[in-house]
Amino acid sequence: MRAIVLAKPAPIEAEPLRLIEKPVPVPGPREVLVRVTACGVCRTDLHVAEGDLPPKHPQIVPGHEVAGVVEETGEQSARFKRGDRVGIAWLRETDGVCKYCRSGRENLCPNARFTGWDHDGGYAEYAVVSEDYAYALPAAIGDARCAPLLCAGIIGFRAIKRAGVVPGATVGLYGFGGSAHLAIQVLKHWNCRVFVMSRGGIHRELAQELGADWIGDAAQKPPAPLDAAILFAPAGDLVPPALQALDRGGILAVAGIYLSPIPALEYERDLFYERELRSVTANTRADGEEFLKIAAEIPIKTFTVGMHLEEANRALTMLKHDELRGAAVLHVR
């Protein structure tokens, strides 16, 4: 099969990803072999390619927003059958026995494994996954539009929950890329007032199209105090202004797996009056199932830029330089 692998982490402009031929993987017990049709391009893939998240083994196949069709099932597999549409997301494996897994917080499992980092992902014609960690895809949403839902969408939804958002709240979104353009649709579905802080022209246009109530720069004070805020941009210098924009008791959730250094915070200016700063770590499968149900109900609209598998370096370069309107998706077959 054709597969994109990471030869050695390097700036994406140096094109560290290579197209090679690999054997088609064989599904083990309770696993399914997925014929990949589309794979979303996520900022986490960029962090792996550039070494911010060092890959766990040589020639890893990136990609964890995988949409496709079950081609084959392993022994003892019963959840899916050949021909079913399924998705593969970031969270790939947990131990199921630690205190986090037993308390509904499997995203914090110390033995968790992740797609496209610990195990080969979806920048390839085929991928395998445990049937317990695969998702049934909404029938009303095609594969290319489903792919970004499997990380950008799920993580954005997890961030909404971590920020304590309730229907009708005033919410600030800092950065407006692949994840935020999905999160805003959930927020507007909940009748929230949404302020978007973004520096990019194409991102601002999309935010306006999706119903943002106000759009400005991160340095600007939004027109009203925020009940909650989500930081999607991997920029630690945005944490202080986002905290300062919160109302009393407001929560800022940082959605990314990687963040540049945060400047020193001042307690009274940035945190007093019970303002909170929270991180977001992966997601639980329950988050994914809940989000995909809401996505089908809205129904959510994914703005995508389609590219061929061999254009993975270009897609990640465009992502790095904020040149994508929505999310890039690699069309594999």
Residue 284 domain flag: no
| 174 and 244 co-located in one domain | yes
Residue 133 domain flag: yes
Q: How many domains does the chain have?
A: 2
Mean pLDDT lowest for which of 196-200, 226-230, 314-318? 196-200
Residue 200 has pLDDT above 80, yes or no: no
| 13 and 139 co-located in one domain | yes
| 147 and 265 co-located in one domain | no
Residue 24 domain flag: yes
| 171 and 62 co-located in one domain | no
State how far the Cα of 140 lies from the Cα of 226, in Å rounded to an integer: 34
| 132 and 20 co-located in one domain | yes
Q: What does the DSSP assignment read for 172-221?
A: EEES-STTHHHHHHHHHHTT-EEEEE---HHHHHHHHHTT-SEEE-TTSP
| 255 and 193 co-located in one domain | yes
Query: How does residue 220 score in pLDDT terms, banded at 50, 70 and 90?
Result: confident
Angle CA 114–120–123, to nearest 5: 110
Q: How many CA atoms lie within 13 A of 199 on its CB side?
A: 9
Q: Where are the alpha helices (DSSP H) in the chain?
A: 43-50, 99-102, 143-146, 152-162, 180-189, 201-209, 239-244, 285-297, 312-320
Query: How does residue 190 score in pLDDT terms, banded at 50, 70 and 90?
Result: very high
Query: How does residue 218 score in pLDDT terms, banded at 50, 70 and 90?
Result: confident
Q: Percent of the chain scored above 70 by pLDDT?
A: 100
Residue 268 has pLDDT above 90, yes or no: yes
Residue 294 domain flag: no
Residue whose pair of structure tokens reads 């290579």 in the numeric block: 18
| 215 and 261 co-located in one domain | yes
Cα 97 to its chain centre, rounded Å, is 26
| 140 and 71 co-located in one domain | yes
| 13 and 143 co-located in one domain | yes
Note down the domain range covering 239.
Answer: 154-279
| Cis preceding linkage at 299, omega within 30 | yes
| 143 and 159 co-located in one domain | no
Residue 287 domain flag: no
Query: How does residue 92 score in pLDDT terms, banded at 50, 70 and 90?
Result: very high
| 18 and 78 co-located in one domain | yes
State how far the Cα of 37 lies from the Cα of 146, in Å rounded to an integer: 11
Q: How many CA atoms lie within 13 A of 282 on its CB side?
A: 21
Query: How does residue 103 score in pLDDT terms, banded at 50, 70 and 90?
Result: very high
Residue 296 domain flag: no
The CA R_g of the chain, rounded to the nearest whole Å, is 19
| 162 and 58 co-located in one domain | no
State how far the Cα of 158 lies from the Cα of 253, in Å rounded to an integer: 9
State how far the Cα of 183 lies from the Cα of 129, in Å rounded to an integer: 26
CATH of the domain at 266: 3.40.50.720
CATH of the domain at 120: 3.90.180.10
Section 46-72 average pLDDT: 96
pTM for this predicted structure: 0.93
